[in-house]
Structure 1
Amino acid sequence: MHTPASMVMGIVFSPLGLVLVFTAAITPQWREGQARLNMAGTGSLFRLGAKGHGMGPRTGSVEALLLLRSDGLWESCLQVEHSELKQCWPVAGSYQKDPRVRLAQGLVLTSLFLCGLGIVLACIGVRCWTDLPLRGVAASGGLLVVIAGLLSLTALGVYTHNLRRLGMDPSHGISNPRFPQLSLHPAGSLYFGWLGSCLQVLGGSALMFSFKQPRCPTCPSRPEQTVCPAFRSCPEITSKTDMDVYEVSC
């Protein structure tokens, strides 16, 4: 079977986009920030943890720690710079209750489901084990993949636009006062998500071209007669014994 290039492109790009968006969804690096804290005011947890890793402050040194904070859709992490001391926990508090975070979570989950369903339909439509693909099924799968890509792009746009305000609303109790100088910026998971969403839109759009039926060649002496899927019905072609006959998928 001759598989159209658009189908090949869609079958390659769509799963790759799904993997990237899934990777972005489960990793806690949607936004990152750092804050320098005085160890005397942070409690004994960080002090003991730092000493346990050989980072206890010496006499006369400045008792301060540089903490790296990262947030994702379902997990947050806190790590001491240049140390193996790291702790992660499920998102909670004002950040978890923020409606924009909940919106991003719902859009990403819906996107993953639709993209997976679209890929299944596309694989059935391509039908590599037969001569003729199911173009309508493949194109329907491509439409689902495009919708999935647009949903994930919307989730990423909402999160990025409100990145520094998520969980900081006064109605939700403002952020923890122990992190007064926390500066937040986009992190790696966002870039994975953007790339994966774009690949989903490209792959799904390529599969949607399957709706278009290709033109079959016609006989020179009979313009109204097509010779698809085989050229055997054309007298000018069948009379030539030295010409190979190829099957054409339409």
Structure 2
Amino acid sequence: MHTSASMVMGIVFSPLGLVLVFTAAITPQWREGQARLGVRSGAVEALLLLRSDGLWESCLQVEHPELKQCWPVAGPYQRDRRVLLTQGLILTSLFLCGTGIVLACIGVRCWTAIPLRGVAATGGLLVLTAGLLSLTALGVYTHNLARLGMPNPSQGVPVNPRFPQLSLRAAGSLYFGWLGSCFQVLGGTALLFTFKRPRYPTCPSCPELTACPACRSCPEISNKHDTDVYEVSC
């Protein structure tokens, strides 16, 4: 069988997107910030405090001396509705993308002559939906990055002046997520094109008969050796 370019593109990009989004989900570098601790009398330099947050884990690092501690997310950040929404969308996206890849692999069936185009395209639809959900989750998190889990003085929540204020910014896990989501969208879109069936040339001796190599409906083709009929590219 001849595996179409859209199938190959979908089968390559979809797992790559899944791996990148999964990597982003389990790493604690969605946002990071730093602040300098107060300098005591006689100290040569202030201590640099590095803080990073992910969806399920946060880390705190102090430089000079080098100390790092990670723990599951807790407190206002864990209870923030935007963080909970992002977690739910990412988990749903991973499940849909994994299911879509399984369906796409079953549908492509490069070991047989005729692929299951409907099954492959259905898998592509799931992968595309997963990519859109990931993009939505990343958009929500990025838009509210500096406000997630932070006290809001306008709502009467006091701010502790002793705690150093961090300058928060996007970190590496977010970029992995954006890249993986784009790969999911590309892979899912490519698999959707497998709904379109290929056009076969007509049989030379019977112009009204379609010369389909898979079913050998043309007598001139059916009399040839298999090596003259099939093109394997999977």
Q: How many residues align?
A: 229
Aligned match of 2:181: 197
Letter in 2 for 1:10: G
In structure 2, stretches of 5+ residues that fail to align are none
Question: Which of 47, 50, 62 lines up with 1:80 in the alignment?
Answer: 62
Aligned match of 1:247: 230
Q: CA deviation at 1:64?
A: 2.5
Q: CA deviation at 1:121?
A: 0.6
Q: CA deviation at 1:216?
A: 1.0
Aligned match of 2:210: 226
Question: Which of 201, 207, 221 lines up with 1:217 in the alignment?
Answer: 201
Normalized against structure 2, the TM-score is what?
0.88
Aligned match of 1:5: 5
Q: CA separation in 1, counterparts of 2:26 and 2:215?
A: 53
2:228 partner SS: coil
1:89 partner SS: strand
Aligned match of 2:20: 20
Runs (4+) of structure 1 exceeding 6 A deviation are 239-242
Alignment of 1:1-250 (within 5 A): 1-38=1-38, 60-62=42-44, 64-170=46-152, 171=155, 173=157, 177-220=161-204, 222-229=206-213, 233-234=217-218, 237=220, 245-247=228-230
Q: Is the CA contact 1:168–1:174 (under 8 Å) kept in the aligned structure 2? A: no
What is the RMSD computed on CA atoms of the aligned residues? 2.6
Q: CA deviation at 1:180?
A: 3.3
Q: CA separation in 2, counterparts of 1:62 and 1:11?
A: 57
Letter in 1 for 2:134: S
Deviation per CA, 1:194-243: give whole Å up to 9, x if none. Answer: 000000111111111110001111135644310102596546x569989x
Deviation per CA, 1:95-154: give whole Å up to 9, x if none. Answer: 111111110000000000000000111111111222211111111001000000000000
Q: CA deviation at 1:74?
A: 0.7
Aligned match of 1:54: none
Which protein has the larger Cα radius of gyration, Structure 1 or Structure 2? 1
Q: 1:224 to 1:34 in 2, by over 3 A?
A: same
Q: Is the CA contact 2:114–2:214 (under 8 Å) kept in the aligned structure 1? A: no
Moved more, 167-176 or 11-20: 167-176
Normalized against structure 1, the TM-score is what?
0.82
Letter in 2 for 1:23: T
Q: Is the CA contact 2:48–2:63 (under 8 Å) kept in the aligned structure 1? A: yes
Percent identity over the alignment? Answer: 78
Q: Is the CA contact 1:230–1:245 (under 8 Å) kept in the aligned structure 2? A: no
Letter in 2 for 1:246: V
Q: CA separation in 1, counterparts of 2:64 and 2:12?
A: 39
Deviation per CA, 1:40-90: give whole Å up to 9, x if none. Answer: 6xxxxxxxxxxxxxxxxxx83246311000011111111012543101111
Q: CA separation in 2, counterparts of 1:74 and 1:177?
A: 27
Q: 1:162 to 1:174 in 2, by over 3 A?
A: farther
Letter in 2 for 1:87: Q
Letter in 1 for 2:108: V
